[in-house]
Amino acid sequence: MKVRVLFATGNEEVEALTVVDLIRRAGIECTMVSSEDTDVIVSSHKVTIQMDEKISDLSDDADMIVLPGGIPGVPNFIANPKVKKLVLKQYEAGRYVAAICAAPTALGKFGILKDKKAICYPGMENELYCKEVVMESVVKDGNVITSRGLGTAIPFGLALIECLKGKECADEIAKKIVYER
């Protein structure tokens, strides 16, 4: 199994790195991908993060692609045709796409949420362009998983693990990090 977490300048580092950490704890290969083809990305709070891959160098598919939130990270995703192409290819192939905080609005703008239930950062719901806004921490509809923000990063990461490796594995990781589900 392979998960790719996309990064752009201005992403919310805790949302992104929480997901990377939890997925790696579950024994799933997880790479951090620069959507800007740079070796490092500077987060919304000026944290410099070393990338594992560059979007232009990707040569295979992943089981899941994750977009973290943050401003201007999400607008940078939306403006990047390579991100849109990669995410649409992933979705159309029936593989998982996941987004947290403001990032579900990118999925909405890419047309992925039109027939889906979804959630995002409070106050941005009108940018989802989805079938139904669901006020839960994490919403899964088919191969799309969305979440609300930094405070939901752990349940979001655990939900991603559950999609890929099952509830038992997600529960085991939750127990190891002293998180009650």
Q: Which of 30, 101, 120, 130 is catalytic?
A: 101
Cα 151–Cα 125–Cα 161 angle in degrees, nearest 5:
45
Give the number of other Cβ atoms within 10 Å of residue 83's Cβ. 22
Cα 115–Cα 118–Cα 122 angle in degrees, nearest 5:
140
Q: Is 30 a catalytic residue?
A: no
DSSP 90-119: HHHTT-EEEEETTTHHHHHHTTTTTTSEE-
Cα 46–Cα 50–Cα 53 angle in degrees, nearest 5:
130
> What CA–CA distances, in Å, run from 156 to 2, 78, 106, 145?
17, 21, 17, 8
Active site amino acids: 101
